[in-house]
């Protein structure tokens, strides 16, 4: 009998969830930058091994002290993934303090039917200290009913992690073809690539107040045409994103175009615009337009 189920990867910002997702499927589906909140939407990715199909779901890092509706929307995506998951994996970074949990997130983790703890960044510590660091986390998180603790640092193989999860997945037919990678369209990943380049090229608070909307994606035999808008919250941020003589926007566009072409395997024409969406992170209307779910 085959097994198949949803595996939610949840945790604080920069804990290593997106890195883990990309390792699990062997593709760079989730954008990775040193800045928190690079991942803003749930990203499902599929891995089929023999009689088992894993549907991993990367999630935005929860925000411990939400200051606006955008922060709440990010945490809600993590909570929704927890509610829907057959197995929940709390990704914890050994290089960060024990995270502070928003009360709804703490309750959701305590109610999760199957909760695993996965530690990243233990490879930053010398061998004798790894077990000590793991024991430290275990002693401070005794209020959660973990089925297992697993070291998923970059120097560790993923097979034990997959075997552990497989044992908890329900018996079920596969939900996707065995060669499927993700149910999301290319259009979504184009937006992820653009956001990643914004994070890499801009600094201070600018990336967090920027959002991407793909306004047109036209597939053509020789070259796809893509138009996108980069929204900023303040009028003063617009010239920073554009740069002197348009140079910053050109850098972002060139780097994004090259990455998109690698993704889809053919040339693209990428047209970028910058617009001001005042206080979009505080506006339920703007948030819904940009793909966020708001309650």
How far is Cα 38 from Cα 211, in angstroms, rounded to an integer? 11
pLDDT at 98: 87
Residue 294 has pLDDT above 90, yes or no: no
Residue bearing tokens 């928003």? 102
150/259 same-domain check: no
Residue 139 has pLDDT above 90, yes or no: yes
Taking the C-alpha atoms of 166, 168, 171 and 173 in order, what is their torsion angle to the nearest 10 degrees?
Answer: -50
Strand order in the sheet with 3-11: 43-49, 52-58, 3-11, 87-93, 115-120, 146-151
Residue 188 has pLDDT above 90, yes or no: yes
- Mean pLDDT (whole number) for 212-231: 95
Q: Where does residue 91 fall: left (phi above 0), alpha (psi -120 to 50 degrees), or beta otherwise?
A: beta
Residue 48 has pLDDT above 80, yes or no: yes
How far is Cα 253 from Cα 62, in angstroms, rounded to an integer? 29
234/113 same-domain check: no
pLDDT at 24: 95
148/198 same-domain check: no
- Hey, is 61 helix, strand or coil? coil
58/161 same-domain check: yes
Q: How many domains does the chain have?
A: 2
- Mean pLDDT (whole number) for 239-249: 95
- Does residue 180 lie within any of the structural domains? no
pLDDT tens track for 85-123: 999 999 999 999 988 888 889 999 999 999 999 999 999
78/209 same-domain check: no
32/133 same-domain check: yes
Phi and psi torsions of 108, nearest 5°? -65, -40
144/269 same-domain check: no
Angle at 170 between CA 53 and CA 139, to 5 degrees: 95
- Does residue 103 lie within any of the structural domains? yes
- Does residue 98 lie within any of the structural domains? yes
pLDDT at 37: 79
200/230 same-domain check: yes
Report the CATH number that the domain containing residue 25 is assigned in CATH: 3.40.50.300
- Does residue 179 lie within any of the structural domains? no
207/250 same-domain check: yes
Mean pLDDT of the residues in the chain: 92
- Does residue 162 lie within any of the structural domains? yes
pLDDT at 17: 94
- Does residue 295 lie within any of the structural domains? no
224/145 same-domain check: no
- Mean pLDDT (whole number) for 54-69: 91
Question: Is 141 exposed, middle or buried (CB count within 10 Å of its CB: 0-12, 13-18, 19+)?
Answer: middle
How far is Cα 130 from Cα 139, in angstroms, rounded to an integer? 14
- How many Cβ atoms from other residues are within 10 Å of residue 97's Cβ? 8
158/82 same-domain check: yes
139/26 same-domain check: yes
Report the CATH number that the domain containing residue 246 is assigned in CATH: 3.30.300.20
pLDDT at 36: 78
Q: What is the pTM of this model?
A: 0.92
- Mean pLDDT (whole number) for 148-155: 95
Look up the domain containing 59 and give its range.
3-168
- Mean pLDDT (whole number) for 150-158: 94
- Does residue 176 lie within any of the structural domains? no
- In which band, very low, low, confident or very high, does the pLDDT at 295 lie, cut at 50, 70 and 90? low
Q: How many helices (H) and strands (E) in the chain? A: 9, 9
- Does residue 294 lie within any of the structural domains? no
**Among residues 141, 168, 195, which one ends one of the domains?**
168
Beta bridge partners of 117: 90, 149
- Among 185, 161, 212, 153, residue whose Cα is nearest residue 56: 161
């Amino acid at each position: 009998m085959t097994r198949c189920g949803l595996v939610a990867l949840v945790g604080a910002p920069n804990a290593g969830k997106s890195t883990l997702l990309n390792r699990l499927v062997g593709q760079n589906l989730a954008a990775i930058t040193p800045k928190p909140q690079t991942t803003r939407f749930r990203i499902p990715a599929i891995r089929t091994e023999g009689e088992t199909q894993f549907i991993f779901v990367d999630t935005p890092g929860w925000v411990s002290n939400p200051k606006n509706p955008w922060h709440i929307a990010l945490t809600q995506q993590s909570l929704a993934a927890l509610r829907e998951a057959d197995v929940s994996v709390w990704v914890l970074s050994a290089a960060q303090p024990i995270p502070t949990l928003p009360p709804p997130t703490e309750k959701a983790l305590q109610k999760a039917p199957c909760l695993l703890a996965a530690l990243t960044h233990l490879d930053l510590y010398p061998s004798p200290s790894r077990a000590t660091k793991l024991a430290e986390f275990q002693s401070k998180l005794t209020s959660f009913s973990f089925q297992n603790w697993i070291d998923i640092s970059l120097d560790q193989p993923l097979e034990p992690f997959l075997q552990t999860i497989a044992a908890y997945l329900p018996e079920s037919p596969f939900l996707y073809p065995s060669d499927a990678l993700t149910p999301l369209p290319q259009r979504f990943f184009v937006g992820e690539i653009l956001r990643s380049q914004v994070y890499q090229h801009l600094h201070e608070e600018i990336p967090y107040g920027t959002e991407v909307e793909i306004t047109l994606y036209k597939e053509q035999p020789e070259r796809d045409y893509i138009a996108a808008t980069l929204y900023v919250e303040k009028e003063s941020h617009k010239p920073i994103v554009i740069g002197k003589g348009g140079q910053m926007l050109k850098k972002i566009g060139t780097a994004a175009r090259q990455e998109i072409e690698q993704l889809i395997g053919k040339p693209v024409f990428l047209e970028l615009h910058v617009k001001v969406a005042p206080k979009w992170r505080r506006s339920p209307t703007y948030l819904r337009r940009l793909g966020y779910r708001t309650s």
